[in-house]
């Protein structure tokens, strides 16, 4: 599975409150979450982000509370994947559970700039810039690749329980 998209760049320690501010947590409406995604980190982000865009960030992305709204808001806003040197553990698992690919790649996170178009080969963990420079991230195990391809844990489970539905 390969994804390509334009990069949005953020710094270190982007917490879940920056991803989706607490004042919007009274809603489970994905369109509403998308409309406010990352607005405290970049007020123009919700209006400018496009489906298929990618985030490249500094270490400890998704730190803070364990709110599932954070990866849901990113996915609803159209973010196709995230690259960072490291992720908060609970954010990492929540992202995988909803089928949002995230890759740990410190060198790539440092080198890639906002506005670039990059391609991610999820099967091999290969991140490639438009100029041909590539970076290796740790690829997901096969099971996690299947979760992401299915659209997350719930969709994957539905496929396995009732494959002909």
User: Does 44 have pLDDT greater than 90?
Assistant: yes
The alpha carbon torsion through 54, 52, 46, 43 (nearest 10 deg) reads 20
Q: What is the pLDDT of residue 26?
A: 84
**Which tens digit of pLDDT belongs to each residue from 111-130?**
999 999 999 999 999 999 99
Mean pLDDT of 107-114: 97
**Which tens digit of pLDDT belongs to each residue from 67-103?**
789 999 999 999 999 999 999 999 999 999 999 999 9
Q: What is the pLDDT of residue 165?
A: 62
Distance, in Å, from the CA atom of 42 to the CA atom of 60, rounded to the nearest integer, reads 18
Q: Find where tokens 């990866």 sit.
A: 71
CB neighbours of 153 closer than 8 A, spacing ≥ 6? Answer: 96, 97, 98, 99, 147
Q: Which two tokens stand for residue 161?
A: 């329980």
Q: What is the pLDDT of residue 68?
A: 87
């Amino acid at each position: 599975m390969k994804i390509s998209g334009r990069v949005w760049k953020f710094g270190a320690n982007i917490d879940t409150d920056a991803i989706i501010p607490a004042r919007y947590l009274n809603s489970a409406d994905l369109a509403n979450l998308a409309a406010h995604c990352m607005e405290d980190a970049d007020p123009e982000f919700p209006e400018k982000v496009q489906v298929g865009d990618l985030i490249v960030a500094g270490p400890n992305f998704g730190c803070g509370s364990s709110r599932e709204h954070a990866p849901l808001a990113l996915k609803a806003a159209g973010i196709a994947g995230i690259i960072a040197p490291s992720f908060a553990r609970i954010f990492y698992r929540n992202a995988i559970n909803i089928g949002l690919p995230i890759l740990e790649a410190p060198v790539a996170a440092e080198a890639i700039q906002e506005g670039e178009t990059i391609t991610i080969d999820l099967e091999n963990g290969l991140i490639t810039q438009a100029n041909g420079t590539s970076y290796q991230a740790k690829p997901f195990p096969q099971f996690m690749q299947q979760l992401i391809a299915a659209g997350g844990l719930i969709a994957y489970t539905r496929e396995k329980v009732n494959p002909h539905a």
